[in-house]
Structure 1
Amino acid sequence: MAADDGVVLDEGAVVLEDAPPSNLDKLENSPPSNLDKFLKRFRALNPHFVRDDAEKLVCFFGDSDISHWKELPRVRITGDEGASWARCVNVGVGGAEMLHVAFYSAECRAKYRPDVVVLCAGENDLGAGAAPPTVFSYLEKSIAAFGHLDDATEQAQLRLRHDPQRTRDNANVVSSLPIDDTKSQQQDGMNASEFSRLRNNNTDEKVPIVYLCTKPEPVADAELRREYERYDGRIKELFQRYNSSCQEELLYFIDNSDLRDPSLYAQDGLHLSRQGYQVWDARVRDAVERVLLKMDERVLAP
């Protein structure tokens, strides 16, 4: 988790060059030195895992906010034969950045074959100095691995039009996304035909994602919180446009901007306390149960 001066970041956080999102091609050929370490940590999780195709599986995937979640919420499934419970699996690694999550996402999908992914990462990247557009591009790579961006564009950066008239839907989403450089001033918003290329026509291959946005951590200073807002703002707009294009809700955004009470955080001011996780339990349970219900309705539809 990111922190202000004087607070140690999670182990493994790396300072990335503030390069444009197109640096993903370079990272594929010359990944950061700690990538293998984090991939090994992800691969070592749940060594005896066996997938039961008869059950619904929810994969909690990300950084230490996931790994510290010792008691995952119970997700209820309502079917013709009564209520049952989904299986929830913790795939969290302390210190992991969205960069590491992105590079493990395809393996995560192959190993666990989740019905739903609860995704949480990005604070470590931002706290280590990476720019929001760069971290956003890693998130795009991650959701591409779960079927939401086609091969031709899975590493493409979604450029959003700078529109001063845009208003906030949630307190933590910026109303007009900042321009990062002079080139972005010349870039147009994405038209319908361009955005349609982001879609994967086979909806059966799309794994719904519930994204937990950044937290207003007590130790995060005002500048870092602004970076959080920029990052989350891009993600929320991507999700809104994508869901509209697909004509169904496949990407869910959970707003955490109201988690300001210090009692919701552990003593380090970075991670959630037991009370904080109880809030997340309720929010995630509600979102995932709605996702699973819609999935069942889709299967039963004529």
Structure 2
Amino acid sequence: MRYLLFLFFLTGLALNAQNVHPFASEVEEIQKRMDSIWVPSEETIVFTGSSSIRMWNDLQERFLDIQIANTGFGGSQAKDLELYQDELILNYNPKKVFIYEGDNDINAKQRPKAILGTFERILDNLHQKNPDLEIVLISAKPSISRWHLRGKYKRFNKKLNKLAAERTKVSYTDVWNIMLNKRKLKKELFIEDGLHMNKKGYDLWYSVLKDSVNTK
């Protein structure tokens, strides 16, 4: 009898482990980090999404006039942000949020239509809970390691732009074209892995995002 109970106990532990979302611990760490620096009484802008946001280490230093909450989590897809949008966005009561997702989704062979469906649910939920929230959708970026998927990324960006145009308080920022030179990728913008950006890459992002951040 005790042996059977022990087996049931182990089975329960295994099932619980299987039900834990792969980003649960990272999201918890982000919350702990933000809780130590975030000032609730100050106006906040959230930047969230996959590693291109997470690795923007000097984001707050570039925008000294407003509190920035960087809740990016590396490797994430839109479906992961949908699951954690309360923890990573709404908990900080932002006036504006910049979202970068879709890059890993396309690489994981997700269809643009399915990704856009997830984005639609994210937008619906965010505006249901905070109708005044301004949302900026950042296009997928080109990269050396994923250049072979450029056709799919361009189609995705076109659909993402259209989605933003159809929504109130939602805008779209294109970072794709500024990272090209006559249709060729500016390879000097990337670190050794060919996927993530160096300071030159983030300088370009800053140049196209700064006006949206500073708009009252």
TM-score with structure 2 length normalisation? 0.79
User: In the alignment, does 2:204 pair up with 1:216?
Assistant: no
Name the SS for the 1:266 alignment partner. coil
Aligned CA RMSD, in angstroms, stands at 2.2
1:180-191 aligned at under 5 Å gives the runs none
Partner of 1:265: 190
The structural deviation recorded for 1:288 is 1.4
Q: Is 1:289 aligned to residue 214 of structure 2?
A: yes
Counterpart of 2:71 in 1: which secondary structure?
strand
1:41 equivalent to 2:21? Answer no
Asked if 1:58 is matched to 2:58, the reply is no
Cα drift, residue 108 of structure 1? 2.5
What's the TM-score once normalised by structure 1's chain length? 0.58
Q: Secondary structure at the match of 1:61?
A: strand
Contact 1:218 1:270 in 2 (8 A): yes
Match of 1:102 among 51, 73, 82: 82
Contact kept, 8 Å, 2:40 with 2:92, in 1: the verdict is no
Q: Which amino acid aligns with 1:206?
A: D
Q: Larger deviation: 206-215 or 39-48?
A: 39-48
Equivalent in the alignment of 1:138: 118
1:134-174 deviation digits (Å, cap 9, x = unpaired)? 11111122222321xx5xxxxxxxxxxxxxxxxxxxxxxxx
Matching residue of 1:75? 63
Shift of 1:35: 6.7
Paired residues of 1:116 and 1:208 also in contact (CA < 8 A):
yes
- Going from structure 1 to structure 2, the CA distance change for 1:221 and 1:52 (only over 3 Å counts) comes to closer
Deviates more, 1:209-218 or 1:47-56: 47-56
Residue of structure 2 equivalent to 1:227: 152
Q: CA deviation at 1:270?
A: 0.6
Contact 1:62 1:101 in 2 (8 A): yes
Check conservation: 1:213, 1:256, Cα contact below 8 A.
Answer: yes
Partners of 1:144 and 1:286 in 2: CA distance: 25
What is the identity, as a one-letter code, of the residue corresponding to 1:278? D
Which residue of structure 1 lines up, in the alignment, with residue 171 of structure 2?
252
Q: Which deviations, in whole Å up to 9, do the C-alpha atoms of 1:225-256 show, x marking residues without a partner?
A: 1111121111111111223xxxxxx2121112
Cα distance in 1 for partners of 2:86, 2:120 equals 13
Structure 1, gaps ≥5 residues long: 1-32, 77-84, 151-199, 244-249, 294-302
Larger helix share, 1 or 2: 2
Residues 1:231 and 1:126: Cα distance change in structure 2 (over 3 Å)? same
**Preserved CA contact (<8 Å) 2:50 2:75:** yes
Q: Is contact 1:146-1:206 (8 Å) kept?
A: no
The Cα of 1:109 is off from its aligned counterpart by 3.3
Amino acid at match of 1:75: F
Q: CA deviation at 1:34?
A: 8.1
Q: Distance in 1 between matches of 2:104 and 2:175?
A: 17
Distance 1:59 1:133, change over 3 A: same
Q: Identify which of structures 1 and 2 has the higher relative contact order when contacts are C-alpha pairs closer than 8 Å and 6+ apart.
A: 1
Amino acid across the alignment from 2:132: K
- The answer for the alignment partner of 1:123 in structure 2 is 103
In structure 2, runs of 5+ residues without a counterpart are 1-17, 180-184
SS of the aligned residue for 2:167 comes to helix
**How many equivalent pairs are there?**
190
Shift of 1:90: 1.2
Among 67, 80, 97, the residue aligned to 1:87:
67
